[in-house]
Structure formats: C-alpha cells, structure tokens
Chains A and B, each alone.
Chain A
Amino acid sequence: MSFLRACLLALLLPLLAAPALAQTAEFDALVTSLPEGSYGERGAVVGAIALTGDPRAEAVLTALLDGTLGVIEATGQVVTLTPAPADALTGAAVEGPAAKIRVNNGLRRDIRAALGILTLADPDPAKRLAAADAAFRAPDAAQYDLLDAAFAREENPAVKSRLAEARAVAILAGDFSDADKREAIDIIADRGDADAQRILTPFAASADLEIAQAATAALTAIQQSRMLWGYAQNIWYGLSLGSVLLLAAIGLAITFGVMGVINMAHGELVMLGAYTTYAVQEAIRQNAPGLFDWSLLIAAPLAFLVAGAVGVAIERGIVRHLYGRALETLLATWGVSLILQQSVRSIFGPNNREVGNPSWMSGSFDVGQMTVTWNRLWILLFALAVFAVLLFVMKRTAVGLQMRAVTQNRPMAASMGIRTNWVDALTFGLGAGIAGLAGVALSQIDNVSPNLGQSYIVDSFMVVVFGGAGNIWGTLAGAFSLGIVNKFLEPYAGAVLAKIIVLVAIILFIQKRPRGLFAVKGRAVEG
C-alpha cells in the first residue's frame, strides 16, 4: 500500500501548476489517502495537500489538526465529524460509523507548517508575505520544496524576495551543497536585521570553514547595517520628540523670548488646546460621526482661538501691570496656571480624557529597518509648518514688523505711531494660540488630563533657555538637539537618567553661554 502511495505522490507532485481540474482530482486523491500510512508518510501528504492550493485545503487540514476529521471504515470515505458527519470533499451529509483519524505531535507540527504554507497560495499578497515571513522565522528543511515551488510561481516582487529569503533559510537548515549554502547566506545577509543575525549566528561556528567564513563576514555586515539603522531610528525618535518640544516651546519663545514675560501658565494653554480637541471630537461623535477624520482640522483653529483668547485676557488682566518685573509675572501667571488647571478639573473631571486618532494618523509604515508611525510623522510636519508660518508672520508681515519694533525699542516704536499696548496683547495672544495648537498635536500622543501642561513646562523652558531667548531659530535648534540627544542617551542611561543628564548638561551649558545658543537682545529679559 505504501509503495502505491509513494508512486501516487511522485506522480502528483509535478502536477502542482496543472489546470484546476487536475488540481481538484489531485486534491481528492490526496485527501482520500490521508487515513493510511505511517505518521511520517501522512506528513508528506499533508504538505502536498497544502501545495495544491485547493480552496478546501484549509478546512480539511484544520479539521485534521482539531481531530474532527474522520473516515468511514467501510467505504474509506473521508468525512468531517462536526457539526454533523459530512463528506470532506463534497460537503454532502453521510451516514454510518466514522472513526477519528489519529494525529500525533509530529504530524501536528507538519499540519501547522502546511497551514502556514497554505497561505503561500493565497490570492492576497499581504497574506502570502506573512506566510513567507512565518516560514522565514521557523526554518525547516522539509519546507524547501514547498517554498521553492511558491517562489517559482510568485509574481509580486516584494513577496518574491521574502520567499527567496525563506527558501535560503530552508537551504541552510537542510542538506544542500556548500555553494548553495553560501548563496543562501548572501541572501539572508542582504536582509540585515535581527532575524537574519539570529539565523546566521550558529553558522559562524560551522565545521565547514568556507561556510563559517561566509557567515562571519555576513554577520559583520549585518551588525554594521543594524547599527546604522539603529542610529537612523534614534534620530527619528529624536526628531519626533524634538517636534513635540518645539510645539510646546515655540509659543513660550514668543512670550518669554520676544516679550520678556515668563508665562508659567503656558503649559495650561497647551492643555486648553488639548481639551478643545477633546470637546470638538465629542461634538462630532454625537452629531456628525462622518466628520471624525476631519476633527483635528476643525479643532486646530478653534484651539488657536480659545488659547489665544485666554492669552489676551491674561495679558490685559495681569501681565500688562507687571511689565519690567519679570519675576512678578512668573508668580502671577503661576497663579493663573493653578486656576486654569482647577477649572478644567472641575469641568471635565480629574481623569484622562480619550481623544481618538483619525484614520490618517493611525498605523505605521517601515522604512528599511525602522518603523515610522503616522501620528509622529504628521506631528513633525505640523510642528515645522507652525514654525514656518510663525517665521513668516514675524519677518514678512506688518504685525510681525510692529512686534519686533516694540521688542527692540518701545518708546521709539510708540513715537512712530505703533499702538504698543495693542501689539503686546497681540504678541501674547499669538504665543498663547500656538500653545493651543501644540495642545491639538499633543492630544494625539499623550493623555489629555489637567496635568498635561505641567509635564511640558520645565522641558519647554529648557528648550527656550538652551536655544536662546528671543530667537525662534534658536528654539528650533534647541528643540531638535535636545530631542535627539535625549534619545541617543536613553539606550545607555534609561529614559529618566537621560532626562536628568540633559537637564544637568543644560545647567552647565548656561555657564558657558548664559544667553543660550543664539543670543539676541530682548526687552527686560535681564529681570
């Protein structure tokens, strides 16, 4: 009997790419032969079933794995036992006593591998890619034929290259010529990631000198490429953190740097922006769920207006009376920050509020070996856009000109007919409004809670002080350099220690440049 089955298999395997009719017949024959033979032989049949690509294969194999595939002893008909006995090939109901087809652990492993391979024939390229990945991670020489066949058949280039890698892994695991193995090592080395490193490491100690050399060389190359990608990932994380710092600090750079006012309520203005986003999303959820993807675009101008209005109110109500007394503004605005915090806590409650990501901000994509999340990317772009607009407003518009004039020489500006009071309120409002915009962005990556502002205020001040007050380019440089330095320190020192080191470094840096990286003279910064 087993001789017959072997012949059958030998006949059938080359038929893989044959027309559908032949495929169906082949599948039927294979399934019918399932109850017979040793476990090892049945393992081979299972693999062959998977490779037929027949749409019924998955159901049959899953049933076999679950122990719900049986055979009617009298006729040899293979049946599924649940929910009611039915022919495994046609699905027609059957009668009669059926015996379960037994599986052991070895066979179960074969079935699982076969199920993994099964998707290699799936019409969806993403599923084929996942199957190739699975085969790559679990090297098995037995899968070589299956992978090779799938590789020959594959047309999608991305899947094909992944299949080549999986096939190479199978070659390394199996009994192949040295030349084949060296070629396989090259293919895996090109992949250059942690998986490739894990797979190649044992071969560096191979008894075969040539293979060991090839593997060692490949490992060195992988290490270098991983190091470079590691740097790239760190720089990306750093840029991402920097963009958050930039958003949080840039409004401060205007009020502190340009006006010389220490606004301790700045963090709370950021928080107001985040809560505005929350409120807008709630309104949209209740009234127009279809607009959800637009919620951030709607929230941004509103957050700017809300925070800006509060900013103007703070300036007119308090800060106006304290110009030239920087330390007193610090105290008074700290009071404002406490009041804003408690107001938000009283209105929205002390707990974190859920702010959803629109679809275009969720998910991630890979660049080489690094992962880029969409929300971080958008926040980076948003921060740069805000920076560009601010730069434009300051340098190219009449309002910006007046702001700079008042900053540099208030009495002169006043005698030229500039309404300095009005400009002060506007400048403060602009800084506050940008804080609100920062809140919109932060709501996407951080908890929206009454403490949101507190967690950024010290960092923001550090950025402004480091970059140099009164210069928004300094803020840009400060934010990104602090972000990147932080992320490069983290792997060695841990997140908290990295932050401490950066703080200490800034304290030391101020020794050398008490006015920051890009020092510009501003009004009343002396304090």
Chain B
Amino acid sequence: MTSLIDRRMGIFLAGLFVLTVAVPVGNLAFEGKVVPSYIVSLLGKYLCYALLAVALDLVWGFCGILSLGHGAFFALGGYAMGMHLMREIGDRGVYANPNLPDFMVFLSWKELPWFWHGFDNFWFASLMVMLVPGALAFLFGWFAFRSRVTGVYLSIITQAMTYALQLAFFRNEMGFGGNNGLTDFKDVLGFPLQSDSTRAGLFVCTATALAAGLLIARAITTSKLGMILVCIRDAESRTRFMGYRVEGYKLFIFVVSAMMAGVAGALYTPQVGIINPGEFSPANSIEIVIWVALGGRGTLVGAALGAILVALAKTLFTGWFPEFWLFALGGLFILVTLFLPKGVLGLIEDTFARKKKPAPALQEAKA
C-alpha cells in the first residue's frame, strides 16, 4: 500500500507551507512590505490555478478523461462565489439598490431572479460552489459515460459544453451580468477585499484548499478505487469485462474533480475581483491541459507545479514581451507533447533516478 504522503508530495506540501507562512508575514509584519500586496493576490491566483490543474489531473491523469471543459466548472464555482459577493455589496452599489445588483438595476429589472435567492447566505453560496459544478458534471458525465463516448469525442463535446455556456453567459438575459460578468465586490464575510489582511487571509485559505485538494486526490488515487481508475485509463474494455461498472467510477471521479475545480473558481473570484464569461472560453480550458501536461500528467504535484510555472511564465512574458507570449505558449505545447511525455516532474525524477541507478547495479554484480 502506497503511503498518502510520498516524497514528492512531502516536498511540495512543505514548500507550500513555507510559502503560506512567509507570504502573509512578509506582507503584513514588516513596515516596508517585503512582499507587495499585489504579489499576494497574484500568488493566490496561481494557487487557484494549481488546484484547478490538480482537479483536471485527477480525471485526465488517472482516468484518461481529457476534459476540455474544466474551465466551465471553474467558472461556475467562480460565479457562485461572485453572486454571494454581489449580494454582500448591498446598497453600496452605484445605484444604491439594497435588493438588486447594479447590472440588474441598469437593465431595469424589478425583482431578484429566483436563482439568485439564497446567495446572500455565505453557507448557501459555499454549498453551491461545489453543488453547481458537481451537478453539471453529473448530468454531463451521466449522459456521456453511459453511452460510452470516449477519447477524442468526449474531449470535443466537453469543449462544446464550455462553449455553449460561454455563449449563454454572454447574454444579459441570463441574469449573470452578461459581457461584464460580476465585479465591483466590496467585502467577504464583512472583511473588506481591498485590505491587506483580507488578501493574506484569502491566500492562506487558497493554500489550505490546494493542500487539501492534493491530499484528497492522493487519497483517492492511492485507494483501491484509484487502482480501478488507472485500469480504466489503460484498458477500459478489459476493466469492464472484469465486472467493474466503468461508468460509475468515471462519473464519480468526474464529479469530484468538477467540485474541486468549482472550489478553485470560488477562491479565484474574490482575489481577482471579477468573474466574466471569458472564463468559459474553450481556449482557457485547453490551457489547463497544458499546465497538467507540462508539469507531468498523473502526478498531482506535477500538475500543480505546471500550473504555477505556466502562470508565472505568462505574467513575466506578457510583461516583458507581450508579442511573444503566444509563441512561447504554443512552443510549450509542441515541445512538451513531443519531448516531455512525462512532463517536467517526470524529467526531473528520471534524471535523479539515472544518477542513482548505477549503485544498485554494481551491488548486484558483486553479489
């Protein structure tokens, strides 16, 4: 039985813990702000991406389901949290309407739509953050896996799903702020979003969520259930013939992954300050795949690392030479698929393993 925390997970979690302590302390404890406030939010955003990447790795790396629509679950979680934050604004909006968010007043709506009810409660919103993506994943997966849509076809219809949602959320009539999405948030649970301590708090929450997500994913993948998932990935029909109900396993992991993505989205919204239909765009969802591929598919920790690396590269590149970001990202896609089938993490571990290997071989020879 593999242990829950292996070496690479241990190193990553330790690093994450150091970051979780160092960043808020660096931001808050010193007068000169060793860590500037915007860096705190930026790192928080990276960690949200990391959690999203872990969620995708769970389905793609361990069950072979290449979802090109995980951005949709992420965005739905983000919207659920955004709705709560909109309700928290109360009458402090531009139109000072205590019942309706600004964009509804602007569209001269008279009443809060039914699906906005309940979002003034934090606990309800937190529940929806997981339930809504989970329900969509369940519905979608139930249809798709039952009729054995696999491989490329599944990828394409997940892409169609997120595309359809994007089109829908762009509509003003949907009641989610249309093109502009939800923004102008003021505070969360009474803490002002602009203050440094709230940012630091959100950062710690995100880091904790990432650690929890990694551990949950690790727990699932090291269990017997995880073994079956890998069996499905490697030989689906054989697993089915052995008597396992493949659809059930796939559905389970898909829903868990979608919920995880929803949580990532919910943490993303307050730190970035906006959620809009752009998050549903197919291109975003495909980018998540490259995080996982770059970091190392099926390694969890690698996926998280890949997300952080690519997001960091994007920040740096778009700052230094905005023209070349797409060249760099495109090149990354090609190089990783051609030359790094196991991702960066695989490359590092292979290099280490090669250095160590000769030793046991020598011993064998002596014996």
A507 is contacted by which of B148, B161, B171, B331 (Cβ under 8 Å)? B161
Q: Decide if B205 is an interface residue (CB 8 Å cutoff).
A: no
Contacts of B147 in A (CB 8 A): 510-512, 514
Question: In the complex, what distance in Å separates the CA atom of A510 from the CA atom of B150?
Answer: 11
- Cβ A342 vs Cβ B326 within 8 A: yes
A507 CA / B337 CA spacing, docked (Å):
28
What mask results when residues 484 to 527 of chain A are scored 1 for a CB within 8 Å of chain B, else 0? 00000000000011011001101110111010000000000111
For B153, the chain A residues whose CB sits under 8 A away are: 465, 510, 514, 527
**Contact present for A339 and B338 (CB under 8 Å):** no
Contact B160 A331 (CB under 8 A): no
Task: Take A458-B282, A514-B147 as given contacts and tell me if A335 and B157 are in contact as well, using a CB distance cutoff of 8 Å.
Answer: no
Show 10 A/B contacts (Cβ-Cβ < 8 Å), sorted by A: A327-B151, A339-B326, A462-B156, A497-B171, A507-B144, A507-B157, A508-B143, A510-B157, A511-B149, A526-B150
- Interface residue? B252 (CB, 8 A): no
Residue of B nearest to A329 (CB): B337
A496 touches B168 (CB 8 A): yes
Residues A500 and B168 in contact, CB atoms below 8 Å apart = yes
Of the candidate stretches B2-10, B16-24, B215-223, B286-294, the one touching chain A is B286-294
Interface hits, A320-379 → B, CB 8 Å: 321-322, 326-332, 334-339, 341-343, 345-346
- Interface residue B170 (Cβ < 8 Å from any Cβ of A): yes
Q: Tell me if A327 and B155 are in contact (CB < 8 A).
A: yes
CA distance A511 to B144 in the complex (A): 6
**Which chain A residues in 181-234 approach chain B with CB under 8 Å?**
none
In the complex, A24 has a CB within 8 A of chain B: no
**Chain A residues near B283 (CB-CB < 8 A):** 454
A335-B332, A335-B333, A337-B330 are known contacts. Are A503 and B152 too (CB-CB below 8 A)?
A: no
Interface-centre pick from A256, A343, A345, A511 (highest chain B CB count, 10 A): A511
Least distance between B33 CB and chain A CB atoms (Å): 36
B331 CB contacts on chain A under 8 angstroms: 335, 339
Looking at the complex, which one of B170, B323, B338 makes contact with A318 (CB distance below 8 Å)?
B338
Residue of B286, B323, B332 with most chain A CB atoms under a 10 A cut-off: B286
Report the nearest A residue to B143, measured CB to CB. Answer: A511
Cβ-based interface call for A81 (8 A): no
- A337 nearest CB neighbor, chain B only: B330
Q: Which of A332, A458, A503 contacts B333 (CB 8 A)?
A: A332
Distance (whole angstroms) from the CB of B57 to the closest CB of chain A: 14
A292 at the interface (CB under 8 A from B): no
Q: How far is the CB of A30 from chain B (nearest CB, A)?
A: 58
How long is the Cα–Cα vector from A497 to B167 in the complex, in angstroms? 8
Interface of B toward A, CB cutoff 8 Å: 66, 140, 143-144, 146-153, 155-157, 159-161, 163-164, 167-168, 170-171, 282-283, 286, 289-290, 293, 323-327, 329-334, 336-338, 341
A461 within 8 A of B: yes
Complex alpha-carbon distance, A526 and B236, angstroms = 12
Q: Which of B293, B325, B326: most chain A Cβ within 10 A?
A: B326
A514 to B155, CA, bound (A): 13
Given contacts A332-B337, A507-B161, contact A461 B156 (CB under 8 A): yes
Contact A525 B326 (CB under 8 A): no
Knowing A332-B333, A496-B170 touch, does A526 contact B151 (C-beta < 8 A)? yes
Cβ contacts under 8 Å, A508 to chain B: 143
Q: Which residues of chain A are within 8 angstroms of B66 by Cβ–Cβ distance?
A: 327, 330
The docked-state distance in angstroms from the alpha carbon of A390 to that of B148 is 32
B161 contacts across to A, CB distance below 8 A: 503, 507
Judged by a CB distance under 8 angstroms, whether A262 is at the interface is: yes
Q: How far is the CA of A343 from the CA of B171 in the complex (A)?
A: 32
- The residue on B at minimum CB distance from A326 is B152
Give the residues in chain A near B140, CB-CB below 8 Å.
Answer: 507
Report the Cα distance A526→B237, complex, angstroms.
12
- Known A-B contacts A331-B289, A334-B333, A346-B323; A506 and B152 likewise in contact (beta carbons under 8 Å): no
